[in-house]
């Protein structure tokens, strides 16, 4: 029901058998894409008919279906002027205005019409749909209930009301409505389809699959259900199964473009750009003017860094459909993807001028401005958009984030609290209220809100865990231990040095989840008395990137003590780490009342060709990969705790020439764990706890000689984010060259954490500096190279 999902439905008003021959012919021509012939048939029918209203309406609907909303509106206005009491024509006029995003004018028109005919059920329903599109959900609900009180069928109205309840995250209310419909008409698939969508929106994906299968049991050829199941299977990381579902649908529904579009979208997400183009071209061969497939093809072209061609394709779509808002937004997207930020901004502002009553351009503009580190300008754009749409949910939510990003916590709190009064069950609103609690130091209420928000997040909850403990070593009570948690797959090469390093840094005990190693990692870990090994063969992707495994172990074995959660290619560096071990650091954090340390990943790489970076078990990887980028990191606000993010770095510059962000670099690896805490996005985000004033980095030691092979393997396994898209990009780049050298004008050789402090990459505090000053000057923990050895 949002602005981006509103669609014209041009030929649903009458059954085919009830229509004159000319109208049936026009519809058939339109379905075949023979638009000009259909228009000609309708024009002749209108001229020849004694009652030209029906051909005129059909012509208006045809123009509407082609997204020629301006022309369609002229047609509808002509009909309304001729027959001002024709409710169907008024409804058609308002619907066209909605699709053209002339939301204020549509509201005025429907208001005037209802003032004349307040008992018109059709107009009340159109007013409800307009309110839903404007995201004024309380008004939409009131209008739907008003329609239910008027004579007429109620089932479809209840179904739409359930969708409005779902948009407010009032899932129980939506389900109650739909269960009533199902009890009344148990054989009708439509109600079960909406019920499945409610489960999806709630995040209960297993239930959603069951619901969609119930739809298929009633209607074996239900295309929407097949597509939805394929998408959900894909969400679970079962990419091969999802692709098979979509391929089957191309055979069972040979004239439908949606399966081809899904295959193209899926290939695009996995960086199979040639495959994406191939599938999308097949979709366009069926319906040459289909917007979704044409837009996806432009995006696939941009992903190939063919920005000039992608821009031309996007502009062609916008010129062909000047009344279609999303076409103009696509042009701006391509400009930003190409790194032309100012051009993207200009396009969005022109789009605002062309669609002054739409709120989506302002949202996109605000997002771009925040990415460009201009939160004050983002806030100004959102405030201006609210003049036309003061109660629109998305604008109000974005304004809260813009206030936070600009440092105005008081204004953010006022806006968020007002939003919470209207939408007390909406998860995104609860997140912002949790942030206000954190601002005021009320972490308990903030965590309770976060637990509600993530109740169906599969990184926190989901299918049963299958973790088999393999070691027999006793696990004592924490008693002040520092415990390290990690997950591995075939990491025998890195384990000896890394574990020795962390032992010397103060880690007392290791908890490892092995996801099917076959390189000897398991045997090595079982030989270590301070290490506890858990085996699972479950999908890394299905279990939230393996995060549910670690959340489970952290809550069972880490509660009440300091826990370090890292990958086996990450070395935690913090101020004075060469001399100040983790026991001293965490003691300092305890005294300061902090319970977590914020860091970001600092990619380390070789001083030369990646293929020549030989590494052997036990080698110090900091000597093998001594280089890093001293700058190029972007810090921004983030809606999830710890409410800040870091992007940029090596991946952004090497894969995307700094035109795109790359990946999330921020992490919170060191936490005084308490029962009920959960990481919610790998170790990037977690439930709220007090964060230290000091910061660190994770020296990321991934890029060695074996990386090219590992990237190729992971791009095939597709267990990582977006089907391991990043690894696919690396593999493609590596295929084009024998020399892979990450060095650039920003390259710096690592010497010490003092160097990282001087560069502004990590932050200390006077108290921590004073603590380090009490230690002997010649104290150096094992594993940290001396400055001389790094030269």
For residue range 201-243, what is the model confidence (pLDDT) as tens digits? 998 988 999 999 999 999 999 999 999 999 999 888 788 899 9
Which tops the pLDDT comparison, 290 or 326?
A: 326
Which tops the pLDDT comparison, 289 or 424?
A: 424
8 A C-beta contact, residue 362 and residue 381: yes
pLDDT score, position 713: 64
The answer to whether residue 32 scores a pLDDT higher than 90 is: no
Q: What is the pTM of this model?
A: 0.90
Task: Retrieve residue 449's tokens.
Answer: 């809100």
Which tops the pLDDT comparison, 665 or 7?
A: 665
CA distances from 602 to 627, 664, 744, 749 (A): 10, 11, 15, 12
Residue-wise pLDDT for 728-769, tens only, equals 777 676 677 778 899 999 999 999 999 999 999 999 999 999
User: What residues are paired with 597 via a beta bridge?
Assistant: 670
Residue-wise pLDDT for 526-550, tens only, equals 999 999 999 998 877 777 778 889 9
Residue-wise pLDDT for 148-187, tens only, equals 999 999 999 999 999 999 999 999 999 999 999 999 999 9
- pLDDT band with cut points at 50, 70 and 90 for residue 479: confident
**CA–CA dist 585, 764 (Å, integer):** 11
The answer to whether residue 140 scores a pLDDT higher than 60 is: yes
What mean pLDDT do residues 439-454 have? 96
424-428, 460-464, 612-616: segment of lowest average pLDDT: 460-464
pLDDT score, position 682: 85
The answer to whether residue 495 scores a pLDDT higher than 90 is: yes
Q: Is the peptide bond before 80 cis (omega within 30 degrees of 0)?
A: no
CA distances from 669 to 137, 406, 600 (A): 40, 27, 9
The answer to whether residue 790 scores a pLDDT higher than 60 is: no
What average pLDDT does the chain have? 90
Sign of the torsion formed by the C-alpha atoms of 419, 420, 421 and 422:
positive
Q: In the chain, pLDDT over 70 holds for what percent of residues? A: 92
**CA–CA dist 586, 565 (Å, integer):** 14
What mean pLDDT do residues 419-427 have? 97
The answer to whether residue 12 scores a pLDDT higher than 80 is: no
pLDDT score, position 50: 59
pLDDT score, position 49: 67
């Amino acid at each position: 029901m949002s602005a981006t999902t509103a669609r014209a439905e041009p030929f649903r008003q009458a059954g085919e058998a009830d229509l004159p021959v000319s109208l049936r012919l026009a519809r058939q021509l339109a379905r075949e894409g023979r638009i000009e012939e259909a228009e000609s048939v309708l024009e002749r029918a209108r001229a020849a008919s004694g009652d030209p209203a029906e051909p005129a309406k059909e012509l208006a609907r045809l123009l509407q279906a082609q997204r020629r909303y301006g022309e369609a509106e002229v047609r509808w206005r002509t009909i309304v002027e001729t027959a001002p009491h024709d409710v169907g024509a008024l409804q058609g006029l308002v619907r066209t205005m909605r699709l053209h995003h002339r939301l204020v004018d549509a509201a005025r028109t429907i208001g005037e019409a209802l003032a004349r005919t307040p008992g018109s059920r059709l107009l009340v329903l159109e007013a409800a749909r307009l309110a839903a599109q404007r995201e004024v959900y309380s008004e939409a609900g009131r209008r739907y209930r008003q329609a239910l009180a008027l004579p007429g069928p109620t089932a479809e109205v209840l179904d739409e009301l359930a969708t409005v309840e779902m948009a407010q995250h009032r899932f129980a209310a939506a389900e109650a409505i739909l269960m009533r419909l199902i009890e009344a008409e148990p054989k009708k698939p439509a109600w079960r389809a909406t019920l499945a969508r409610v489960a999806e929106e709630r995040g209960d994906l297993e239930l959603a699959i069951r619901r969609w299968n119930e739809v298929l049991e009633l209607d074996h050829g239900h295309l929407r259900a097949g597509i939805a199941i394929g998408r959900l299977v894909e969400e679970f990381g079962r990419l091969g199964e999802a692709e098979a579902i979509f391929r089957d649908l191309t055979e069972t529904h040979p004239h439908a473009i949606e399966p081809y579009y899904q295959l193209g979208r899926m290939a695009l997400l996995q960086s199979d750009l040639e495959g994406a183009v191939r599938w999308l071209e097949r979709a366009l061969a069926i319906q040459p003017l289909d917007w979704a497939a044409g837009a996806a093809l432009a995006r696939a072209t941009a992903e190939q860094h063919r920005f000039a061609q992608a821009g031309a394709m996007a502009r062609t779509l916008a010129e062909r459909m000047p009344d279609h808002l999303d076409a103009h937004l696509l042009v701006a997207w391509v400009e930003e993807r190409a790194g032309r930020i100012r051009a993207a901004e200009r396009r969005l502002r022109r789009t605002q001028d062309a669609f002054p009553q739409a709120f989506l351009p302002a949202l996109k503009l605000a997002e771009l401005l925040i990415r460009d580190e201009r939160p004050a300008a983002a806030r100004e754009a959102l405030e201006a958009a609210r003049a036309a749409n003061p109660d629109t949910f998305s604008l109000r939510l974005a304004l809260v984030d813009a206030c936070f990003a600009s440092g105005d916590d008081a204004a953010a709190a006022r806006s968020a609290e007002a939003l919470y009064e209207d939408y007390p069950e909406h998860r995104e609103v609860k997140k912002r209220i949790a942030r206000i609690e954190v601002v005021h130091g009320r972490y308990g209420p903030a965590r309770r809100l976060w637990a509600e928000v993530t109740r169906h997040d599969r990184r926190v909850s989901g299918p049963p865990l299958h973790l088999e403990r393999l070691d027999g070593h006793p696990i004592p009570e924490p008693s002040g231990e520092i415990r390290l948690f990690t997950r591995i797959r075939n990491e025998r090469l890195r384990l000896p040095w890394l574990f020795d390093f962390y032992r010397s840094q103060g880690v007392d005990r290791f908890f490892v989840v092995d996801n099917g190693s076959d390189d000897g990692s398991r045997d090595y870990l079982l030989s270590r008395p301070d290490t506890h090994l858990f085996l699972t063969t479950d999908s890394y992707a299905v279990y939230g990137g393996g995060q549910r495994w670690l959340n489970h172990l952290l809550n069972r074995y880490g509660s009440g003590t300091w826990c370090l959660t890292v990958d086996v290619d990450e070395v935690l560096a913090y101020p004075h780490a060469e001399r100040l071990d983790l026991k001293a650091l965490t003691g300092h954090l305890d005294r300061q009342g902090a319970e977590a340390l914020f860091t970001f990943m600092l990619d380390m790489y070789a001083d030369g060709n990646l293929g020549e970076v030989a590494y052997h078990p036990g080698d110090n990887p900091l000597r093998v990969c001594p280089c890093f980028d001293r700058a190029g990191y972007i810090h921004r606000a983030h809606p999830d705790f710890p409410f800040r993010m870091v992007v940029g770095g090596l991946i952004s510059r090497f894969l995307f020439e700094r035109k795109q962000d790359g990946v999330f670099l921020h992490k919170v690896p060191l936490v005084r764990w308490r029962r009920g805490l959960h990481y919610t996005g790998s170790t990037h985000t977690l439930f709220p706890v007090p964060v230290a004033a000091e910061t660190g980095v994770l020296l990321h030691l991934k890029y060695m000689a074996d990386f090219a092979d590992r990237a190729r393997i992971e791009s095939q396994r597709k267990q990582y984010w977006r089907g391991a898209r990043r690894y696919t990009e690396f593999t493609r780049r590596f295929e084009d060259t024998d020399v892979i050298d990450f060095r650039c004008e920003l390259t710096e050789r690592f010497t010490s954490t003092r160097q990282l402090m001087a560069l502004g990459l990590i932050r200390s505090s006077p108290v921590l500096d004073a603590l380090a000053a009490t230690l002997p000057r010649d104290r150096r923990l094992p594993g940290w190279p001396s400055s001389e050895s790094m030269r």
